Structure formats: structure tokens, C-alpha cells
A = this chain, B = another copy of it.
Amino acid sequence: MRRGLLDCAARLAAESGPGSVTIQAVAQAAGVTKGGLFHHFPNKEALLQGLFADLLARLDGEIDAFMQIDPQPHGRFTRAYVRAVFADRARPEGSLWAPLSVTMIADPSLRGMWNEWLADRLARHAETDGTSILEMARFAADGLWLSDLLGGDGGAKDALLHALIDVTKSEGEA
């Protein structure tokens, strides 16, 4: 049931925008009443945190998968991060992140989850991904993601992807 509620909330966010993720709507979509929902989540924040935790876990796994098939140590995490962003935007059903992210940006507790996740991974890969160049590449991926979120041109970004991956492979400076 808990799973069902989270799935319905995710579907709702994806289909009707972040504003439509209300307690009532989620409950109804899951075939439950509000009372039922509040039995599983103490409040709305907990539900959003559950949603976001799912998404973070997914991203975590995806990045790990990309890292495992990458032979070069230097910039391994950054490359995986960039590839995950591009993989997400290429999804035919639309980005999984888009709707929730709008909520995330506005909600301090979700922002905290994101910052913790990122800080943790950066600490784990400080040896291989600590340079400014790599930071730039990750920021560029974030920027692209933001552009998609804002409805930017949406043109082909193959050249950008290659430029980013290229940049992560030069071990030039500290």
C-alpha cells in the first residue's frame, strides 16, 4: 500500500505537474481516502520525502552502473553523473525528475536530502573527482537539466555530451 501510494504520487506528478500532488489527489489515485493515506504517512512532507528518497536511490544505482563499466579512474563519478543526466533527459516518457524537482527546489527538507546525497558521493570520490574541471562538467550537466526543466530549446545535445565526456578525461590540472 505504501508502495502503491508512492507510485501513484509519482505518476500523478509526472502526468499533471507538481502542483497536482495533493494529499487528496494521491489518495484518490491510489483508491484510498485521505484517512487511509495519513495512516501510512504522518504528513505531506513525509510523503514527499519518500518520493524523493526513491528517486535518489534510483539515481544512485544508475550512477553505480555507469561507473562499473568505466575503466578510467580519473573523473569516473563525474562521467557517470553526466551520463545519468543525459540518460534521464532521453527518456521517452519524460524526465523522472522534472516534476518532483520543482517541488524539491521549493522544499527545504528535500533540498537537504539532495545536498546530503551529493556531499556524500563527492566525499566518496574526492580522490578521483576533486578537480575544478570536473566540478565544471557536473555543473554543466546540472545546467542542461535545468534548461530542460525550464523548457529550453531542447535541440540535440550530442556535441555537448561529447564535449563534457572529453573534458572529464583530461587529467591536466589539480
Residues of chain B within 8 A of A163, CB atoms compared: 132-133, 136
Residues of chain B within 8 A of A164, CB atoms compared: 136
Q: Is the CB of A151 within 8 A of B111?
A: yes
What is the interface of chain A mostly: helix, strand, loop, or mixed? Answer: helix
Complex CA gap A129/B111 in Å reads 33
Q: A133 CB to closest chain B CB, in angstroms?
A: 6
Q: Using a Cβ–Cβ cut-off of 8 Å, how many residues does chain A contribute to the interface with B? A: 36
Residues of chain B within 8 A of A146, CB atoms compared: 142-143, 146
A105 in the interface (beta carbon within 8 A): yes
A118 in the interface (beta carbon within 8 A): yes
Most chain B CB within a 10 A radius of its CB, from A102, A141, A150:
A150
Complex CA gap A106/B105 in Å reads 10
Of residues 125 through 148 on chain A, the ones whose CB sits less than 8 Å from some CB of chain B are 132-133, 135-144, 146-147
Q: A137 CB to closest chain B CB, in angstroms?
A: 8
Of the listed stretches A8-16, A60-68, A152-160, name the one at the interface; the rest are far from the partner chain: A152-160
Residues of chain B within 8 A of A162, CB atoms compared: 132
Residue on B nearest A108 in the bound complex, by CB: B151
A119 in the interface (beta carbon within 8 A): yes
Of residues 74 through 121 on chain A, the ones whose CB sits less than 8 Å from some CB of chain B are 102, 105-106, 111-112, 114-115, 118-119
A and B contact pairs by CB, cutoff 8 A, 6 listed: A102-B105, A105-B150, A114-B150, A115-B152, A136-B140, A139-B139
